[in-house]
Amino acid sequence: MDRTVNMMRIALGEYGVSGPMDGGGCPDIVKYLYGIGQSKEAVAPFGWGSVFLSWCARLAGLPYNHSPDDRGWLDKGEPVHYDIIPPSAWPEYDGQAPLLGDVCVFWHGESPSSKIEGTGFLKGRAGLFIREHGTDLFVLCGNGGRGRVTGDGGVCILPYDKRRLLSIRRLESNKTEPSVD
């Protein structure tokens, strides 16, 4: 899990970076875009949140999303079999708990099938798992908190309702490979 820890360090080092949805005019966001081979024009309908996560994952040597679409994370890494019903509710619960740095993917908008205007893409939100509290999962994300202070989105930690969760993805397996002598 060393690469996941490294990704969290990279992401937290960017905490507070903010800029417009298309990333234009902000050198840090342009760095994220070019770091994964994206242009400002490609990102405009999506925002730069997924691009930020991809940049962090790429620097850490982990699989990353080559698209600015947040839902593109749904096929990265391995699924974490997490259930929003608390484990205390069933004695034979066999789900997994999310770990710090797992990628959480949520639906966004009016419904899970809400589309981004002018595209065929479904709205989504992706972030790195920080903690669980009540009905929320707190995630570190890029382009978050839009309009709360300046109208720009930023690298921040925000709560997302568990009922909007589509998947949790573990980019790095914690399984150890058998040694060959």
What phi, psi does 168 have (nearest 5°)? -120, 130
Domain of 117?
2-170
* Domain-located, residue 44: yes
**What proportion of the chain, given as a percentage, has pLDDT over 70?**
81
* Domain-located, residue 178: no
* Domain-located, residue 123: yes
* Domain-located, residue 159: yes
- For residue 94, pLDDT over 60 is answered with no
Question: What CATH number did the domain enclosing 105 receive?
Answer: 3.90.1720.10
Give pLDDT, residue 47: 82
Give pLDDT, residue 156: 93
Dist. CA 141–CA 157, nearest whole Å: 6
* Domain-located, residue 180: no
Tokens of 90: 């069933």
Q: How many domains does the chain have?
A: 1
* Domain-located, residue 165: yes
Dist. CA 52–CA 17, nearest whole Å: 10
Give pLDDT, residue 34: 87
Quick one: angle between helices 27-35 and 49-59, nearest 10? 60
| Contact between residue 119 and residue 105 where contact means Cβ atoms under 8 Å apart | no
Average pLDDT over residues 28-52: 84
Which pLDDT band, with edges at 50, 70 and 90, does 181 fall under? very low
* Domain-located, residue 51: yes
* Domain-located, residue 181: no
Give pLDDT, residue 26: 82
- For residue 90, pLDDT over 70 is answered with no
Which pLDDT band, with edges at 50, 70 and 90, does 40 fall under? confident
Dist. CA 175–CA 170, nearest whole Å: 11
- Tell me the pLDDT tens digit for each residue of 122-168: 889 999 999 999 889 999 999 887 644 455 688 999 999 999 999 99
DSSP string, 29-84: HHHHHHHTT--HHHHTTT-SHHHHHHHHHHHTT----SSS-GGGGGGSSEE----S
